[in-house]
Structure 1
Amino acid sequence: MAKTVITFGTFDVFHIGHLRILERARALGDRLVVGVSSDHLNFKKKQKYPVFSEHDRRSIVSALACVDEVFSEESLEWKGKYISTYNADILVMGDDWAGRFDEFKSLCEVIYLPRTENISTTEILAAVRATSA
């Protein structure tokens, strides 16, 4: 039986860490569905908007060979709804979120994958800002 994997993220300033976690998530199943955080959700979470628009971030993620479907994540509280809507068998998140999504184990398997070492969007943006200052 085909397995659907779902994951979520902002995917702003797309980098090799984003690609690696998506490729590893896809390797766990037959289909990868990705929820890209909406601009509104990002502002609500971080009090700032992403560098790239929601439309551009969705376009980048949907162009990847390992990704089968992309949707806008509008609310953190709807993760269970998204898991059910896309009939996900596995929820994948980075291990920096370890334990925070265990509540969904009644809906699907929950797997936390290690993040790619020595790379983060926050660090990339800080380096760019320092260079341009």
Structure 2
Amino acid sequence: MSRVITFGTFDIFHVGHLNILKRAAELGEYLIVGVSTDALNFSKKQRYPICPQHSRAEIVDALACVDEVFYEESLELKREYILQCKADILVMGDDWQGKFDEFSDICQVVYLPRTPSISTTELIEIVKES
């Protein structure tokens, strides 16, 4: 059984999130998703997510294509998360192309194309301007 792992914030859940998770699930038999904590998101983007981490994790966990969810607390722990979850494949969006190749020694690394014309950042800006 091949195990797939991916990571994301999944704030203001949209069809782009769903698409990448469904495509990631198709690459194996078991999909594990690391949902970034509120604190990790703040350290990366200098802002907290709109939706709190427990809500974001609950939404992701409710999807039929997702088998397991955990909180990603640190970017520096990705290798440990991959090893702990016994993942065979790491999936990330192609906006991260090449950034995770260092993990190819412990798993296959796959970059999937993002859904065009949708992003959480753009949605937040549209709402702010309204």
TM-score, with length taken from structure 1: 0.97
SS in 2 for 1:57: helix
Q: For each residue in 1:17-70, what CA deviation from the matched residue of structure 2 results, as whole angstroms up to 9, or x when unmatched?
A: 000000000000000000000011011111110000000000000000000000
**Structure 1 CA distance for aligned equivalents of residues 42 and 31 of structure 2:** 26
SS in 2 for 1:71: strand
Determine the structure 2 residue equivalent to 1:68.
Answer: 67
Taking only the aligned residue pairs, the percentage that are identical comes to: 63
What residue ranges of structure 2 are gaps of 5+ in the alignment? none
Determine the structure 1 residue equivalent to 2:122.
Answer: 123
- Over the aligned positions, Cα root-mean-square deviation in angstroms equals 0.4
**Structure 2 CA distance for aligned equivalents of residues 54 and 72 of structure 1:** 8
**Structure 2 CA distance for aligned equivalents of residues 51 and 117 of structure 1:** 22
Moved runs in structure 1, 4+ residues, more than 6 A?
none
Give 1:41-120 correspondences, 5 Å limit.
Answer: 41-120=40-119
What residue ranges of structure 1 are gaps of 5+ in the alignment? none
TM-score, with length taken from structure 2: 0.99
Number of paired residues? 130
Determine the structure 2 residue equivalent to 1:31.
Answer: 30
